[in-house]
Chains A and B, each alone.
Chain A
Amino acid sequence: MMEHYVAIILVAIGTYLARFLPIYFNERFKRLKGIDEFLTYSSTALISALFVTSLLSFPVKLKNISISIVALAFVFVSYKKWKNLGFSVLIGVTAHILLSFLLNCIVCAV
């Protein structure tokens, strides 16, 4: 349907402009006093916001959140030990798979 193609193109243009215009006009932003400090705090807040919103979904399911929190503990410890981003994520994903599998087995057995 033509309507689908038009919507896809309009959203693509809107999304692209939101990403492109601040980069294109960055010289104007640089002239703003204190912008560097503002943006460094902003980036930390954004990562924290992305973390929280990816971790939790409502209504919270105890089983899911428990698995995620334990897997995150593995991520945290491995990152503190090896300081390797990709390796820590892989450890977290592996722990998540194993914990999910283990919990499913326990639930089935009970």
Chain B
Amino acid sequence: MFKKGLIASLPIAIGYIPVAITFGVTALALGFNGIEAILASALIFAGASQFALISLISHSFIDAVTIPIILNLRHIVYSCIVSQRFEIRKPFITAFGLTDEVFATSLKANDEMFILGLEFGAYLSWILGTAIGILGGAVLLSNETLVPSLVFALTALFLVLLIPNLKGYYTLSALIGGTIALIFHYFGYTSTGILLAGVLSPIVILKIKNR
């Protein structure tokens, strides 16, 4: 199952590498050294938070620490969902790699080893991308056609994961969740929107069902 998870992490890796390259390049541009950039990817392993950290630290240390953590509060919901699906025997390891994309793909899993394979593949690509970014990513990022297409892999992945869910009340849940996220995304509060989508949408659906 670990191997299956590793293979399933390929679409995630395709999307992660260009984003991680961008992170490596941006971190250097904002005054971080190569070791710090790699350390951030290796220890945090959360894209949006890492970008928030490196961009905020020159303004305020407190903001640079609190805002990335607030951005990651949505992971509480992810972990709740994953832990209810099957027994997690290695919570200390499994919890570490539960990113947005790993969570979404793990919903197809029924075994912890599959998730660990997913996490391992995604993590390696994230570290590799950051290293490439540090060593010379600026040259790669200059290709304006290739980078957005590779990042598109993540959108395609989410669509493929969404399709089997579009039945009955789940379609309504997807519509409500998507709308909530879109509104918050428009106003620049993407992470809050995702978190609220995961909390408010099921509340609305259960209210409608139990009426």
Contact = CB atoms under 8 A, between A and B. Distances in A.
Task: Please give me the 7 A-B residue pairs with the lowest Cβ-Cβ distance, nearest first.
Answer: A45-B177, A49-B181, A45-B201, A14-B69, A92-B156, A41-B202, A26-B83
B170 to A, nearest CB: 5
Contact size range, B = 35 or more
Contact of B156 (A44, A88, A97): A88
Interface in B65-122: 65, 68-69, 72-84, 88, 91-92, 94-96, 98, 100-101, 103-105, 107-108
Interface of B: 7-8, 10-11, 14, 32, 36, 39-40, 43-46, 49-50, 53, 57, 61, 64-65, 68-69, 72-84, 88, 91-92, 94-96, 98, 100-101, 103-105, 107-108, 145-146, 148-150, 152-163, 165, 169-170, 173-178, 180-182, 185-186, 190, 193-194, 197-199, 201-203, 205-206
Nearest to A54: B155
A85 B4 CA distance: 12
A85 to B, nearest CB: 5
Q: Is the interface of B mostly helix, strand, loop or mixed?
A: helix
27 contacts: A3-B61, A7-B64, A10-B69, A11-B40, A11-B50, A18-B73, A20-B95, A22-B77, A23-B95, A29-B83, A36-B84, A37-B206, A43-B165, A44-B170, A46-B103, A47-B104, A47-B177, A48-B175, A49-B193, A53-B190, A58-B186, A79-B159, A79-B163, A85-B161, A86-B7, A96-B148, A104-B145
Contacts, number: 262
A11 B156 contact: no
B152 A96 contact: yes
A19 B160 CA distance: 24
Interface of A: 3-5, 7-12, 14-16, 18-24, 26, 29-30, 34-56, 58, 64, 68, 71-72, 75-76, 79-80, 85-86, 88-90, 92-93, 96-97, 100-101, 104
A49 to B, nearest CB: 3
A19 B83 contact: no
Contacts of A68: 152, 155
Contacts of A55: 155
